[in-house]
Amino acid sequence: MSTQQEFLCSAMSELGMSRDAFCARLGCAGRTLDNWLLPNDSKDHRDMDGAVWTLVREMVAHEKSNQLKTSARKLP
């Protein structure tokens, strides 16, 4: 299982989103994302709510689904 930090970095990368775009999509402040991205042992680290984990997973799954559909349309 990946850490929260690894999960979020991976999601942003897979979605091709900047930190600002990711925050806008999640509807959170930049500082909130910064706190989520801190290592677990940092005093300012904050755990994400389960709803945020689910939302990010669904965003990534939706993007992967769209990529598969686009790839399928390009096949002869």
The pLDDT tens digits of the residues spanning 13-55 come to: 999 999 999 999 999 999 999 999 999 999 999 999 999 999 9
Give the integer Cα–Cα distance in Å for 14 and 10: 6
pTM for this entry: 0.84
In the numeric block, which tokens belong to residue 13? Answer: 């990368």
Fill in the DSSP letter of residue 44. T
Q: In this structure, what token pair is assigned to residue 36?
A: 């989520």
For residues 5 and 54, the answer to whether their CB atoms sit within 8 Å is: no
Instruction: Give the pLDDT score at 2.
Output: 84
Confidence of residue 66 (pLDDT cuts 50, 70, 90): confident
Average pLDDT on 45-70 reads: 91
